[in-house]
Structure 1
Amino acid sequence: MTHTAETRLKELGVTLPDAPAPAANYVPAVRAGDLLFVSGQVSQNADGLVKGVLGADMDVEAGAAAARLCAMSLIAQARAACDGDLSRIRRVVKLTAFVNSAPGFGDQPKVVNGASDFLVAVFGDAGRHARSAVGAALPFGVAVEIEAIFELA
């Protein structure tokens, strides 16, 4: 039996959030040929934005959990762009991740592993991707923001 992304989400006990609405003048996703570019998704949960500065008031474990929330929103946006059909996602191509970082904090890759590990758990080998993990000051004080490129079938 083939494990689909939807099946894996159920096995993980994960219910994706609704695809968040854009916070400014942009669209959540753009398709160009077989590629789907999903705009940056900030760390948020049902209670609102997950804020923090890694290396100051947030540790790597909490940052990785925030990155996982970003990955959940990325998948939700991709699903919405695919008319609710995650089976149209052939693979995760690339993540560009921004981590709200205190001066001297250098563990951005460990934080972003929260998103990368989740995408592999959901999509299997098709979830393995290229990525960048960069320290930055982020809007609204959120801990993490991640954008993604997906290949569509």
Structure 2
Amino acid sequence: MTGKIESRLAELGITLPDAPAPAANYVPYVVSGNHVYVSGQISNQDGTLITGRVGDTLSTEEGAAAAKTCAIALLAQLKAACDGDLDRLTRVVKLVGFVNSTADFTDQPKVINGASDFMVEALGDIGRHARSAVSAASLPLGVAVEIEAIFEIR
């Protein structure tokens, strides 16, 4: 049976992928009390990494689309952390977004809006969150965006 959140995702045409496995010596998430801390998820569309540097090889809009893929992966990790029940989510607490961008690029918030806007569109008011959006000289595997999250669950 599909819950409310997954039904809403389906309305948006989103099917969550399997939660990505960690790429190094860390765990994909930690549940502590009623919080889930999800490790950084990198931009990936259907198994293909979204690479490049925003302000050089990628536009702000392409960066925002890459950020949305990170948000989808964050929800996939959350689903795994909640034993398959996304309806345990009570709040997206915080997103921290990293943008692989040129030194003179200053629209990191517009890039990370791709994830923030998706969280609100998919989750409504419980998707509203605190956030940071920062630039990075490079990101793992040359990806365009990496985002980590803190969620509150019941």
Same fold (TM over 0.5): yes
Where does structure 2 lack aligned partners over 5 or more consecutive residues?
none
Shift of 1:47: 4.1
Residue 150 of structure 1 corresponds to 151
Structure 2 CA distance, aligned partners of 1:55 and 1:147? 22
Query: 2:73 matched to 1:73?
Result: yes
Query: Runs ≥4 in structure 1, deviation > 4 angstroms?
Result: none
Aligned pairs for 1:112-131 (under 5 A) are 112-131=112-131
Structure 2 CA distance, aligned partners of 1:83 and 1:118? 22
RMSD over aligned Cα atoms: 1.0
Alignment deviations for residues 110-141 of structure 1 (CA, whole Å, 9 cap, x no partner): 00000001111111000000000000021110
Q: Is the 8 A contact 1:30 1:36 kept in 2?
A: yes
Shift of 1:56: 0.5
Shift of 1:16: 1.1
Residue 101 of structure 1 corresponds to 101
Aligned sequence identity (%): 63
Aligned pairs for 1:1-153 (under 5 A) are 4-136=4-136, 137-153=138-154
Q: Is the 8 A contact 1:4 1:123 kept in 2?
A: no
Structure 1 CA distance, aligned partners of 2:97 and 2:131? 7
Where does structure 1 lack aligned partners over 5 or more consecutive residues?
none
Structure 2 CA distance, aligned partners of 1:39 and 1:64? 19
2:64 partner amino acid: A
TM-score, normalised with respect to structure 1 = 0.96
TM-score, normalised with respect to structure 2 = 0.96
